């Protein structure tokens, strides 16, 4: 075979140097850029291992929520009457709807805690970003410097207590006339009910951690309790039948709020989104509608007279 001429070898080397080598260089750097870009995209993509601060709720509300969440799109859920047996679940649904309305699009992690006191402490310490168990403002006053309080989901003047007796039925007029001679009680852990009781012109207050036993044992004449969803308004607790003073109620004159952590790194963003969403829901009338349908704001006693107008 004849050997290539010197001129052909020179031209072939020139072609490889000026054409093939730059192409390889381009391919090499394109590969490096692609690898770096892919890594950057992966690092900003939310994955199952990304730490997301939890929202807190009660154990029974979480169980019910998980079941509900598999059956319907929570953001579009409107059958609030189905939540009448669980105010914590209603609170959680409204909180999540507000966050979505407010622009929160990331994954949501909901965790259960045994009671609202633990939820309050966890949010105040930054162990959770938010508690979806709404709280009376009076109950969280001592921790307010560590919390953001949402706009009220239950506004002042909306929530009412029933006046309950044990074993007897009192008429509204008789109760009013006898009030200054009566002994009242409420659950000592319910600071809002206690504040209402303290504002009434009653003979004596006998606060108790077992208010039903206190009134049914004769140590008090009546107790303040939230109305049940039952339209008869009667309550059966600890084996006792409690009967309301029909036609009479008291106003809590208090507000309920969601709690968001000032300590959690995501707290401020979550609070602003929650606020934006709650205001949208309020304008649409959805919050008041939800709490009425679920009988938290009891429609069956709308025409009853207020003892403390």
Beta strands in 13-159 (DSSP E): 55-57, 110-112, 130-136, 147-149
Q: What is the tens place of the pLDDT at every residue in 204-249?
A: 888 888 999 999 999 999 999 999 887 778 888 888 999 999 999 9
Q: What is the tens place of the pLDDT at every residue in 61-98?
A: 999 999 999 999 999 999 999 998 899 999 999 999 99
Q: What is d(CA 27, CA 44) in angstroms, rounded to the nearest whole number?
A: 26
pLDDT at 53 over 60: yes
Q: Sorting pLDDT into bands at 50, 70 and 90, what band is 8?
A: low
| Pair of tokens at residue 163 | 């006046």
pLDDT at 45 over 90: no
Q: What is the tens place of the pLDDT at every residue in 123-166?
A: 999 999 999 999 999 999 989 999 999 999 999 999 999 999 99
> Which residues, in sequence order, are CB contacts of 128 under 8 Å at separation 6+?
53, 54, 55, 56, 111, 119, 122, 261, 264
Is residue 195 within 8 Å of 161, Cβ to Cβ? Answer: no
Closest CA to 90 of 306, 287, 302, 275: 287
Share of the chain above pLDDT 90, in %: 70
Q: What is d(CA 154, CA 191) in angstroms, rounded to the nearest whole number?
A: 16
Return the SS3 of 298: coil
Q: What is the tens place of the pLDDT at every residue in 263-288?
A: 999 999 999 999 999 999 999 999 99
């Amino acid at each position: 075979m004849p050997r290539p001429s010197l001129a052909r070898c020179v031209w072939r080397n020139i072609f490889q140097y000026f054409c093939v080598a730059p192409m390889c260089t381009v391919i090499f750097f394109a590969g490096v850029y692609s690898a770096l870009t892919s890594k950057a995209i992966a690092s900003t993509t939310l994955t199952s291992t990304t730490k997301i601060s939890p929202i807190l709720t009660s154990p029974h509300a979480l169980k019910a929520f998980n079941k509900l969440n598999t059956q319907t799109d929570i953001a579009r859920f409107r059958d609030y009457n189905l939540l009448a047996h669980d105010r914590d679940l209603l609170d959680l649904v409204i909180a999540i709807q507000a966050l979505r309305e407010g622009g929160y699009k990331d994954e949501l992690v909901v965790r259960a805690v045994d009671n609202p006191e633990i939820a309050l402490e966890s949010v105040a310490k930054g162990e959770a970003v938010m508690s979806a168990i709404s709280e009376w403002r009076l109950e969280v006053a001592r921790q307010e410097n560590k919390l953001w309080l949402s706009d009220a989901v239950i506004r002042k003047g909306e929530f009412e207590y029933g006046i309950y007796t044990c074993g007897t039925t009192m008429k509204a007029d008789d109760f009013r006339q006898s009030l200054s001679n009566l002994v009242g009680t409420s659950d000592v852990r319910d600071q809002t009910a206690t504040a209402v009781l303290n504002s009434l012109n009653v003979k004596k207050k006998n606060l108790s951690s077992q208010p039903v036993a206190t009134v049914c044992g004769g140590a008090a004449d009546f107790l303040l309790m939230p109305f049940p969803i039952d339209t008869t308004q009667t309550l059966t607790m600890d084996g006792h039948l409690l009967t309301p003073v029909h036609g009479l109620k008291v106003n809590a004159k208090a507000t309920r709020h969601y709690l968001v952590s000032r300590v959690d790194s995501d707290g401020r963003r979550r609070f602003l989104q929650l606020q934006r969403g709650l205001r949208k829901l309020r304008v649409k009338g959805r919050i008041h509608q939800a709490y009425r349908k679920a009988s938290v704001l009891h429609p069956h006693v709308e025409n009853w007279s207020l003892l403390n107008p």
